[in-house]
Amino acid sequence: MKNFLLRSIAVCLFSFTAIIAQQKPTFNNPILAGFYPDPSLVKVGSDYYLVNSTFAYYPGIPIFHSKDLISWEQIGNVLDRPEQLNLDGFGVSRAIFAPAIKYYKGIFYLTCTLVDGGGNFVVTAKNPAGPWSNPVWLPQVNGIDPSLFFDDNGKAYLIYNSDAPDNKPLYEGHRTIRMYDFDYKELKVVGVNKILVNGGVDFSKKPIWIEGPHIYKRNGFYYLIPAEGGTAEDHSQVVFRSKNVDGPFVPWEKNPILTQRNLDPKSKNPVTCTGHSALVETDKGDWWAIFLACRPYEPFEENYYNTGRETFLAPVKWTDDGWPIINPDYKEVQFSYPVPISPQKKLEIPLNGNFTLREDFTKNKLPLYWIFLRTPHEKWFDLSEKPGFLKMKLLTANVSGTVNPSFVARRQQHQNAVASTSFSFEPKSENEKAGLIVFHNEEHFYYLCKSKEGNDYVVQLYKSNADKQNNNMELISSQKLSNEITGKNLELKIKVEGKDFSFYYSQKPGEWILLKDKIDASFLSVKKAWAFVGSVFAMYTKSLGVPSSSSAYFDWFEYSGNDSTNK
């Protein structure tokens, strides 16, 4: 009887332990949903700070703060003054590439590349929320993806992606990782650069696009951790190490330490394109990695995704012989892991999971998540003239050009999402248009707008094309509006369900009328648009080639997203 009771108690304790383990809190991946690629982070005390690439969007480089690695709050933008970042003339997927943030002796340092512009630069700040300094250019650094490393002996180094030796590539994608000494007080490189890695892990296999390097020091070793394979499905993270900061660096025989390129392309809800990682150690001594990854929608094997490259988080384990492995317990990157640190707070502006967010334009400044296409040089929008409304002037600049249009955007953060808005606008001619656009790049967008055809007010749906003579748009649907719409608000809605768009309008609040459905959303996918960005929804006004004094007044904008992978 005694043994029976002991066994029963043991079974009960085991079951109770299993229940407690199952109840351990988890978090959702991605931790930053939508177009937040090339993540970099730094730990300062118990605080974490994270930055991402923004390409030709303004302000440049959002900066986020967290206490738990999963609840991220945007606290500012690094490049938020026109004097820091003039984006005139840049294509949507050019300009700001791969920022890297570091901290040393009370100063935050951020290195980055302005592609097709001034090249590599460094900015500094005492407060990560800003203000950040104007860029200090590094003309000797020929390449991209610069990252600083501060050694514990007081020396600093700049690591970056550069050309093949002697600028003579032996195959397409042949690159190097190089290093300069860095004077962090004068913000300049010193001496001559040295090649740390030529090509990649195994030169005999012609490795491509070694990039995004970071150096970490642990247990007497310097670990060089770059990405390899390009930023699409063959993307991977690899590791080298050395006893000396300048090498020689030896690759791990079991590289890569993260990739999803060997997965079955027909896997349900796959995560693809993983790489461009950064590592961090928590106060408890646990290691974690952030990295970019993508979430395709069906058909999964096509690898179509409109949300762009997103920021994911996964655990890191070190092998007994001292090598790091990202996502060590699984073949597939998971949409959920146990939390690294107990969650700190619920966010006012969520950045992942399923949510609805409505903006009523009641404040005197736009929230930080709104972005512009290139740098605004004139005040074409206003929140004070008519409280509770966003006034947007009609400009002749359009989204297919290379200057700043009248365009206020937020990222698409879900495969299944709805963006809607309400506005008042009385076009004076067929040239004048205002409404809602879903935009990927200069030649891949759909525009749902109010305009005129003759004397009639109409709602129109345009699809982008390459016809420079017609503002890069073709009309695919039009519907006459009731005369009662004059002086009253029109509501517009764009709904995306994976590979399909539907477009709606309403002349009475909540009474939606379908204008067009089953529109190809994959036209805006990264694979078809060949862009480094992701899709955005934007309020967009313009006057086709003819200057206008008209304005549109938006009184709310709502975004809602719901994905099956968000538990």
Give dist(CA 518, CA 503) in Å, integer: 9
Q: Which residues contact 339 (CB under 8 A, 6 or more apart)?
A: 24, 25, 26, 27, 68, 70
Give the pair of three-digit tokens for residue 308: 């762009």
Q: Which residues contact 380 (CB under 8 A, 6 or more apart)?
A: 392, 393, 395, 406
Quick one: how far is CA 212 from the chain centroid? 15
Give the pair of three-digit tokens for residue 406: 């009248």
| Pair 401, 439: CB distance under 8 Å | no
* Amino acid at residue number 195: I
* Amino acid at residue number 480: K
Give dist(CA 309, CA 272) in Å, integer: 9
H or E element: which one contains 191? strand 188-198
Starting at the edge strand that comes first in sequence, how are the strands of the sheet with 272-281 ordered?
A: 272-281, 287-294, 310-318, 324-326
Give the pair of three-digit tokens for residue 119: 């090249």
Give the pair of three-digit tokens for residue 416: 């299944």
What angle (nearest 5°) sits at the alpha carbon of residue 508, between those of residues 505 and 511?
65
Q: Which residues contact 103 (CB under 8 A, 6 or more apart)?
A: 42, 44, 49, 109
Pairing of strands 57-58, 40-44: unpaired
Burial 126-135 (b: 16+ CB within 10 A, else e): eebebebbeb
Give me the DSSP letters along 88-150: TT--TTSEEEEEEEEEETTEEEEEEEEETTTEEEEEEESSTTSPPPPPEE-TT--EEEEEEEE
Q: Where are the beta strands (DSSP E) in 15-59?
A: 26-28, 40-44, 47-51, 57-58
Give the pair of three-digit tokens for residue 51: 């930055």
Give dist(CA 498, CA 489) in Å, integer: 29
Pairing of strands 381-382, 513-520: unpaired
Give dist(CA 511, CA 373) in Å, integer: 32
User: In degrees rounded to 5, what are phi and psi of residue 256?
Assistant: -85, 160
Q: How many residues are listed for the chain in this entry?
A: 567
Give dist(CA 492, CA 513) in Å, integer: 9
Coil, helix or strand at residue 490:
strand
Nearest alpha carbon to residue 145 among 180, 191, 177, 189? 177
Coil, helix or strand at residue 521:
helix
Give the pair of three-digit tokens for residue 409: 């955007």
Give dist(CA 33, CA 1) in Å, integer: 57
- Token look-up 């655990």 returns 315
Q: Give catalytic residue positions.
A: 38, 211
